[in-house]
């Protein structure tokens, strides 16, 4: 597992190099960690040649959210809508630095994320044509007005594949925001299919926090 770390635009990045020069590049925005556990989980599931760029040191509730959302619970922090700013950093600074460090040109560049980063992965498709595929694992598609945004806006590029997943207990909550996650995810999956996109929607056992690493690995494999 050949990995190098670098910093760009104030973010910490870990680049795992494929053995093949034209393997896909998957970008994973991470709440914590450098992606090592996800790479190990992928290798246990299936041997695939791909490059992984894992980006950390994120201002999670700012960088990964498209607009303001108030507190979803007393223990949480508000979402402050910094996605456009972060996406610009990713496209203008972090991704070019990554590509300079790689051998050859990736066969496709795709994006993946868990929770709010899964929300970001889908939102990014509406603002750039860079990403050929996307994976949203236990994505925060409960986010207020996001489903309506998907239904009323056009992607910059029709993706080849989209992977969506949820835990079967994620909707079992009294939280008025979070309880919409399954209905929203299923509605968005159906909308994408009607648009002619190859969509995989997978239900996993457990709540939002169960097997996050394994779910992330499965999503990445699905879009390679």
Rounded to two decimals, the pTM is: 0.96
The backbone torsions φ and ψ at residue 64, rounded to the nearest 5 degrees and listed phi first, read -100, 5
Note the pLDDT of residue 33. 85
Using DSSP, state whether 130 is helix, strand or coil. Answer: coil
Q: Which pair of tokens denotes residue 204?
A: 């996993």
Maximum alpha-carbon separation in the chain: 50
The backbone torsions φ and ψ at residue 39, rounded to the nearest 5 degrees and listed phi first, read -60, -40
Note the pLDDT of residue 51. 97
Per-residue pLDDT tens listing for the chain (224 residues): 799 999 998 999 999 999 898 999 999 999 988 999 999 999 999 989 999 999 999 999 999 999 999 867 777 788 999 999 999 999 999 999 999 999 899 999 999 999 999 999 999 999 999 999 999 999 999 999 999 999 999 999 999 999 999 999 999 888 888 999 999 999 999 999 999 999 999 999 999 989 999 999 999 999 99
Note the pLDDT of residue 76. 79
Note the pLDDT of residue 188. 98
Give the ranges where the chain is alpha helix by DSSP (H).
36-45, 60-63, 83-89, 95-100, 116-124, 146-152, 181-194, 212-223
From the list 87, 89, 67, the residue with the least C-alpha distance to 78 is 67
- Ordered domains of the chain (ranges, CATH): 2-223 (3.40.50.1820)
User: What are the CA-CA distances from residue 180 to residues 17, 31, 66, 185, 219 (Å)?
Assistant: 38, 22, 18, 8, 21
Q: Which pair of tokens denotes residue 74?
A: 């007393």
Note the pLDDT of residue 75. 76
Note the pLDDT of residue 77. 84
């Amino acid at each position: 597992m050949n990995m190098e770390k670098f910093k760009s635009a104030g973010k910490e990045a870990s680049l795992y190099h494929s053995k093949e020069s034209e393997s896909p590049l998957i970008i994973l925005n991470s709440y914590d960690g450098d992606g090592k556990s996800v790479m190990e989980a992928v290798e246990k599931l299936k041997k695939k040649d791909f490059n992984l760029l894992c980006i950390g040191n994120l201002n999670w509730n700012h960088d990964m959210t498209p607009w303001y959302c108030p507190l979803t619970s007393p223990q949480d922090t508000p979402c402050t809508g910094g996605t456009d700013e972060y996406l610009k950093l990713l496209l203008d600074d972090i991704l070019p630095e990554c590509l300079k460090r790689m051998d050859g040109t990736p066969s496709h560049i795709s994006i993946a994320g868990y929770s709010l980063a899964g929300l970001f992965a889908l939102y990014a498709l509406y603002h750039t044509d860079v990403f050929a595929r996307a994976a949203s694992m236990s994505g925060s598609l409960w986010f207020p007005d996001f489903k309506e945004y998907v239904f009323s806006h056009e992607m910059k590029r029709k993706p080849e594949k989209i992977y969506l997943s949820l835990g079967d207990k994620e909707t079992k909550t009294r939280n008025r925001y979070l309880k919409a996650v399954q209905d929203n995810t299923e509605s968005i999956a159906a909308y994408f299919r009607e648009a002619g996109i190859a969509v995989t929607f997978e239900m996993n056992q457990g709540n939002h926090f169960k097997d996050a690493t394994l779910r992330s690995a499965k999503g990445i494999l699905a879009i390679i």
